[in-house]
Amino acid sequence: MGAYRADDDYDYLFKVVLIGDSGVGKSNLLSRFTKNEFSLESKSTIGVEFATRSIHVDDKIVKAQIWDTAGQERYRAITSAYYRGAVGALLVYDVTRHVTFENVERWLKELRDHTDANVVIMFVGNKADLRHLRAVSTDDARAFAERENTFFVETSALESLNVDNAFTEVLTQIYHVVCRKTLEIGDDPAALPKGQTINIGGRDDVSAVKKAGCCSA
Ligand SMILES: Nc1nc2c(ncn2[C@@H]2O[C@H](COP(=O)(O)OP(=O)(O)OP(=O)(O)O)[C@@H](O)[C@H]2O)c(=O)[nH]1
Ligand SMILES: [Mg+2]
């Protein structure tokens, strides 16, 4: 039937949320990843938007449903609904505005208060293209990520630097956590190591495994 696959032809669907202060570039990271588009004059997000993109991990199709909301409190939707079912998050700050880096602890707390303990978190320093305006060092950000046990990358939505990598890494990590759970549950549920499970079967969860079967790794 040719190389085309229907949009709903996927093996896994994962909900991923974007969080971080207003203006750090969440919406542009999303549009760069899902549409390869960037806008210098994008407006603040109001409410919630989402977009999808499918990628291959091993021989499986992983579809990401990525949610984006406003960094500003007054434009944000109901917090618990935004996080419900999320298995991954990109926590974004702006490398040229130190205050956005200082606020990540608050974002991290909100994220952890509302999601499974094993949500995969990518800490993202965006606007790396603005080299002359840098206000947060890579070392400081990496140290924070190590302390908080999250992944870390610097990106530029403008220059398409590391944007695909950031999303792909999150999706791949989620995929491996989900696979591990399936495999180990198949063996002996009691043997599940702490800190490695992700709830994907709950009724309210958007993220779900569509078909049975898992990674070969
Ligand atoms: N130089 C540069 N500018 C960027 C980059 N990413 C986003 N911007 C600009 O930063 C501004 C804010 O970007 P948005 O994507 O709207 O930010 P946001 O985090 O979605 O903001 P809220 O919706 O208000 O929470 C826009 O003017 C973008 O063009 C980047 O990588 N480099
Ligand atoms: Mg936005």
pLDDT for the residue 185: 43
Which domains, and CATH codes, for the chain?
A: 12-185 (3.40.50.300)
Cα of 96 vs centre of ligand 1, distance in Å, is: 12
pLDDT tier at 74, thresholds 50, 70, 90: confident
- The proportion of the chain whose per-residue pLDDT surpasses 90, expressed as a percent, equals 71
Give the least confident one: 13-27, 54-68, 170-184, 188-202: 188-202
Alpha helices in the chain (DSSP H): 26-35, 79-83, 98-102, 104-114, 138-148, 163-187
Atom of ligand 1 nearest to the CA of 43: 16
pLDDT at 139 over 70: yes
Who surrounds ion ligand 2 at CB < 5 A?
26-27, 45
Q: What phi and psi, each to the nearest 5 degrees, are found at residue 210?
A: -80, -45
pLDDT tens-digit series, residues 43-55: 999 999 999 999 9
Ligand 1 pocket, residue 156 CB under 6 Å: yes
